[in-house]
Amino acid sequence: MKVVGICGSPRKGNTEWMLSKLLEQVAEKGVETQLILLREKRIKGCDGCLSCEAGGPKRQGTCHIQDDMQQIYPALMAADGFALGTPVYFDMLSGLLKNFMDRTCPIWPHLESKPVVGLAVAEAGIGQAVANLKAYAGICSMRWSGQVTALAKLPREAAKDPELEPTLERLAGRLVRALRA
Ligand SMILES: Cc1cc2nc3c(=O)[nH]c(=O)nc-3n(C[C@H](O)[C@H](O)[C@H](O)COP(=O)(O)O)c2cc1C
């Protein structure tokens, strides 16, 4: 069993800390984990060519854009569950994470039935960010297994909330139970 976390923050900040803590707890429960930091990846925008649809309903993970998504596609298809993390930007998910989601067009049918949890962090209000993550999960027919949100502005500010780590541990438990269900 393997859970892949996707971090949609362009900095080493609160989202990354929350995802790391969540994945630590997932690993404690005997599940392999991988954290993909989109800020370290070279991922171009989807150009809308739709050639990825050529394989029919079970797309084979082919995108003509040669960048870091080519290594990420097999990891996504092989994963059993996911954790999506985003900072809130203008009440929505970050552009970095949305760009990644758009580029999953060649493989999204392979995500069907896989459990997914969401993390979102904002300075003042989560806005539509969790709804954005749920919308993606819904379109991919993934199993939404819960979310944790936090309020923080500066990097590592979320780590000062003593309630957050236990809350992330509970979400990790839900995700692992969903994996095994
Ligand atoms: C471009 C930009 C837009 C933002 N928009 C919002 C917002 O709409 N609402 C909010 O509460 N915080 C907003 N913030 C604050 C971030 O959500 C906050 O700093 C968060 O901790 C960032 O997460 P990170 O540390 O993982 O990068 C914005 C920050 C940036 C850089």
53 Cβ inside 6 Å of ligand 1: no
In ligand 1, the atom with minimum distance to the C-alpha of 13 is 25
Q: If pLDDT is split at 50, 70 and 90, which confidence band does 66 have? A: very high
pLDDT in tens, 100-136: 999 999 999 999 999 999 999 999 999 999 999 999 9
The CATH topology of domain 2-39+57-180 is Rossmann fold (3.40.50)
In ligand 1, the atom with minimum distance to the C-alpha of 86 is 26
pLDDT of residue 58: 59
pLDDT in tens, 77-90: 999 999 999 999 99
> Over the Cα atoms of the chain, what is R_g?
16
pLDDT in tens, 128-176: 999 999 999 999 999 999 999 999 999 999 999 999 999 999 999 999 9
Check if the beta carbon of residue 12 is closer than 8 Å to that of residue 155: yes
The pair of three-digit structure tokens given for residue 103, joined into one six-digit string: 């580029």
Q: Ligand 1: distance of its center to the CA of 123 in Å?
A: 6
Closest-CA residue, ligand 1 atom 17, reads 122
124 Cβ inside 6 Å of ligand 1: yes
Q: How far is CA 53 from CA 29, 46, 132, in A?
A: 37, 13, 23
End-to-end CA distance of the chain: 12
Check if the beta carbon of residue 181 is closer than 8 Å to that of residue 123: no
Q: DSSP 3-state assignment of 29?
A: coil
In ligand 1, the atom with minimum distance to the C-alpha of 91 is 8
- The residue that leads in pLDDT, 51 or 54, is 51
